[in-house]
Amino acid sequence: MPKKKSRPQKRRRRSIIAFEMVRLNRTAKEPLHEQLYRQIRDELKAGRFSDGSSRLPSSRALAVDRGISRSTVRLALSKLHAEGYLRSKPGSGTFVATLLPESFLTADQPKGYQPIQRPARISDRAKAIPDRRVGSQFDLGATGAGPGVSLVASIPAVDEFPIAIWERLRAQVLTKKGVNLLRYSSNRGDIDLRKAFAAYLCDFRAARCHPDQIVIVAGMQQAMLISAMAVLNPGETAWIEDPCYQQTRRVLTLAGVKIIPKPIDEHGIVIARSRQEPLPRMIYVTPSHQFPLGVTMSFQRRTELLDFASAHNTFIFEDDYDAEFRFVGPPLPSLQGIDNANRVIYAGTVSKILCPSLRLGYIVAPEQLVDSFVKIRSAMDQHSSPTEQATLARFITEGFFLSHIKRMRKLYAERRDFFIKQFNELLGDHFTLQVPEAGLNIVAWLKREEDFQMIKRITSEIGVRPSALSFFCIQAKLKPAFVFGFAAWTLTQIRQSLVKLASALRNYPRDLNHGRQSR
């Protein structure tokens, strides 16, 4: 059969879009080119012109038609081009893209999708992390200090953070370093920041370190996790203080470490151990002032601890989270500064000095551990934000860091004195304050143990929310007490909170007080 002669293909009609729907409002805040871009984009997204043959009018025609300048039209069209809504054909004009960008971005909803409800298998590691909270309670963050809640422990006065200075320095580093701040960066951390921290620690914390020993981390928790993962195998033992910073217990559990809680006496952590007790591979301490009891580790205990670590090839993790805020006498040198045997992993954070949301801190590692720390960090999340690190480096080198510490120490000293005086006047019948030399918290011991449940109930109801000391205890059986924070509240707020607590205690029906202690 003779082949059918193929007909010459008819030239497809190129319809020019009129864009009659475009309505531009000259008095609106939104610039005209943005309005034009948005309205054309929405029209294209609606799908009426996506057969690949719709041509756009020339920018001159569109400008004349809409009574706007050609540069306004060009701005709108170039954005549509850049996002993939339009394509140019040299010599023929501008056309609507055959496939709009949405088609590459939006996944199809699977039809007839029926989710199967089955409880997820959760790892033992996740289950082992001690925490009673569930679901959305985690969203309150570590402290649960929302608006209207006061005297929560460990909260710094973030409203004093010098936002304007920070923003200025941030803009400066972005201008100076530009795209270099947008790339993946050093796993050890910004070199300028490491130099700045090394200088600060040698000058003020009597540390002995150089910048190559410093690894910048996302706060103390990460410092602990990296250190534990580097020096302990799962199942090996770490000593921690009891009572202790609750995140230490959680983080070490996450690292698979066997925790042995050690009591605290008036010198700090108790080193004595029974023969059966396995030797620790790491000992976590807060020597500047113990969290939460506030004891400053004595010089004698410091040397005993270092000798123990050296004799048993153990590392000491020194958490120096808020040593800057001392109110009585000069600080003792850090353990790191008096360690001759490279046993101390020293770590600090800006959470108390500046604000916790920055998630920045540092580890000063014994030289032989640095590479392993960096390796673990690189496998974890690579590094902290280069922009925030560079900004902090400037903040320190230009003197703002030290000046902020001095200003905050003075402010906290004033708030602390006021808190102690008011507390003793208003609540002295119920509590005995144990005033520490440093820090943002004060422990208040109950005069009558049987009041514990009542006070716990009241504090949770009225939003004046110290933590029960028992919350931080693992095995320690201490007398009932509450840990109050004073740093984040003004004198007026402190007074109001204490008056509220005193009056709630006065008016609370005693017959509801069935005094058994619970956590």
Ligand X SMILES: Cc1ncc(COP(=O)(O)O)c(C=O)c1O
Q: Tell me which residues touch ligand X (CB under 6 A).
A: 154, 219-221, 245, 286, 291, 319, 321, 349, 351, 356, 361
The length of the chain in residues reads 519
Cβ proximity to ligand X: between 218 and 231 the closer is 218
Which amino acid would we find at residue 383? H
Minimum CB separation from ligand X for residue 409, in Å? 17
Minimum CB separation from ligand X for residue 291, in Å? 4
Q: Is 21 exposed, middle or buried (0-12, 13-18, 19+ CB in 10 A)?
A: exposed
SS (H, E, C) 355-393: CHHHCCEEEECCHHHHHHHHHHHHHHCCCCCHHHHHHHH
Minimum CB separation from ligand X for residue 233, in Å? 24
Q: How far is CA 262 from CA 229, 259, 325, in A?
A: 21, 9, 26
Find out whether 445 and 480 touch, Cβ atoms under 8 Å.
Answer: yes
Minimum CB separation from ligand X for residue 135, in Å? 23
Minimum CB separation from ligand X for residue 353, in Å? 10
| CA dist., res. 272 & res. 163, Å (int) | 47
Minimum CB separation from ligand X for residue 293, in Å? 11
Minimum CB separation from ligand X for residue 195, in Å? 21
Cβ proximity to ligand X: between 230 and 251 the closer is 251
Cβ proximity to ligand X: between 68 and 436 the closer is 436
| CB count in 10 Å sphere of residue 437 | 14
Residue for token pair 């800057």: 324
| CA dist., res. 227 & res. 58, Å (int) | 64
Which candidate, 319, 311, 250, 248, places its Cα nearest to that of 280?
311
Cβ proximity to ligand X: between 56 and 355 the closer is 355
| CB count in 10 Å sphere of residue 33 | 20
Q: How far is CA 145 from CA 134, 163, 280, 468, in A?
A: 17, 21, 35, 15
Cβ proximity to ligand X: between 343 and 352 the closer is 352
Which candidate, 309, 351, 337, 312, places its Cα nearest to that of 223?
351
Residue for token pair 């059966």: 276
Minimum CB separation from ligand X for residue 345, in Å? 14
Cβ proximity to ligand X: between 63 and 152 the closer is 152
Cβ proximity to ligand X: between 319 and 339 the closer is 319
Minimum CB separation from ligand X for residue 471, in Å? 12
Minimum CB separation from ligand X for residue 352, in Å? 7
Extract long-range pairs of 170-179: CB within 8 Å, 24+ residues apart.
170/387, 170/388, 170/391, 172/394, 173/387, 173/390, 173/391, 173/394, 174/387, 177/390
Backbone angles phi, psi at 482, to 5 degrees: -125, 145
Cβ proximity to ligand X: between 187 and 221 the closer is 221
Cβ proximity to ligand X: between 198 and 440 the closer is 440
Minimum CB separation from ligand X for residue 415, in Å? 17
Within 8 A by CB and 6+ apart from 32, the residues are 24, 26, 68, 72
| CA dist., res. 69 & res. 32, Å (int) | 10
SS (H, E, C) 410-443: HHHHHHHHHHHHHHHHHHCCCEEEECCCECCEEE
Find out whether 199 and 402 touch, Cβ atoms under 8 Å.
Answer: no
Cβ proximity to ligand X: between 190 and 318 the closer is 318
C-alpha gyration radius of the chain:
32
Minimum CB separation from ligand X for residue 93, in Å? 59
| CA dist., res. 336 & res. 248, Å (int) | 19
Minimum CB separation from ligand X for residue 433, in Å? 19
